[in-house]
A = this chain, B = another copy of it.
Amino acid sequence: MERTLVKDTLVVTQDDRRRVVRGDVLVEGDTIAGVGPDLGPADRVIDGRRRVVMPGMVNAHGHIAMHAMRGVADDMPLEAFLERTFAVDARRTSQDIEAGARLGALELLKTGSTACVDLYYDQDAVARGLASIGVRGWLGWAVLDEKFTTQKGAPLANCEAWAGRARDIPRVTPMVAPQGVYVCGEETYHGARELAERLGVPLHTHLSETRPEVYNHKAATGARPVEWLAKIGFLCPRLSAAHLVWVTMAELDLLSKAGVCAVHCPTSNMKLASGGVAPVPEMLERGMHVGLGTDGASSNNSVDMFGEMKQAALLHKSARWDARLVTAQQALDMATRGGAAAVGALDRLGSVEVGKQADLVLIDRGKPSVAPLREDNLVSALVYGGGTDIVDTVLVAGEVVLEGGRPTRADAGEVVRGAEEAAAALMERAKEAGGGA
């Protein structure tokens, strides 16, 4: 088995004690085989002296296929945003989706994410995009009531068929992803949970993102979305729920008791003016697992998790007038351990520890945005300083997929140009269809 050694480095382990270790990281095959002084020998040695090793981040909520649609709908209310993005999205082909996903995967890798959670239809094309770059994906096929879907065939059946195909795709785990209470009735949620249990895969959903979602649902059913999902028996440890902006403390108790993971998406919530701020301090107080997600490229418009960590640390300080809320360490926890927990993979991902998957991000400490770097300001430098140019080398499952800032499986220029061409053609089609106004 090939042995790779990162020699003489500083490791932000993100282990239970959040230790920063000076020494080496040894990788055997796809697994971390050692963290500490004087490991080796190895087939391949990476000089770690001017680098810092951290766990690959898990971007726990997004829609990377939408990268080809970046910037089509900004600075507008949610209704206009949805109308505009749906109009463009409706004109997409599988090739567009793959080209967008390739670009999204490249941006993920270059900004330190080694895995993403994705909610979309046509996850086959998304999976091809991810594979072309080497990023892991938890790919949830969108499930919704048949009366609302534009999918060919029944979404639940499509999802099950996708899960069957996904079994053979390396680094991909299928998920069942009911879209949200505004398009999913009780039967759909029951079907989604039953399918996920049967297949042994995670569930992922949008939940309590906006005021209208919550109050419309309450008007229709008498219960707020989280209360309602608790009542119909959908909440379970298999579920990660994105957004959770408009939740009461009683609802947080329900989520916490059921073992649901929250996924915080601060930038998306700010940009779409979802109103209010997700009660992340209260989630953390309850000991809930909280992941961090960028959401899609039309509502952020980035998948940079360094930026998202900073936003998570800033937003709550600002909203509550308390600079102590959501520390740099807590933000880093969300981006690593929290995301791993959100997909039920904390035993394999989320920290640099022996036995875990070798998903490693090597930071170039010579970049101005993280300098001057010391052991005592290391986490702060990553969270508050870290720009999109600091990621030097990335390993996924022990494979070097980024080296010197360049992807090893693809040509970055070609990926960008492919997305540009797909986007240009898509915008033309959308304009012809009247969606380009």
Contact = CB atoms under 8 A, between A and B. Distances in A.
A314 B267 contact: yes
Given A74-B380, A267-B314, A366-B416, A387 B301 contact: no
A70 interface: yes
A423 interface: yes
Interface stretch (A3-11, A194-202, A272-280, A346-354): A272-280
A320 B270 CA distance: 10
Interface in A348-376: 365-369, 371-374, 376
A321 B210 CA distance: 10
Contacts of A384: 70-71, 74, 271, 300-302
Contacts of A318: 269-270, 273, 277, 315
Given A270-B315, A273-B323, A368-B106, A387 B75 contact: no
A311 B311 CA distance: 9
A427 B374 contact: yes
A314 B271 contact: yes
Contact of A424 (B68, B72, B372, B405): B372
Interface in A267-323: 267, 269-273, 275-277, 297, 300-302, 304, 307, 310-311, 313-315, 317-318, 320-323
B416 A74 contact: no
Q: Report how many copies the assembly holds.
A: 2
Interface stretch (A55-63, A76-84, A336-344): A76-84
Nearest to A68: B372
A159 to B, nearest CB: 29
21 contacts: A67-B372, A68-B372, A70-B372, A71-B384, A74-B384, A75-B317, A77-B322, A78-B323, A106-B368, A110-B368, A110-B389, A267-B314, A300-B384, A302-B385, A311-B314, A366-B412, A371-B419, A372-B423, A374-B420, A374-B424, A387-B388
Interface of A: 67-68, 70-72, 74-78, 81, 103, 106-107, 110-111, 267, 269-273, 275-277, 297, 300-302, 304, 307, 310-311, 313-315, 317-318, 320-325, 327-328, 365-369, 371-374, 376-377, 380-381, 384-385, 387-389, 405, 412-413, 415-417, 419-420, 422-424, 427
> Which A-B residue pairs are the 6 nearest by beta carbons?
A387-B388, A71-B377, A71-B380, A372-B423, A270-B318, A389-B389
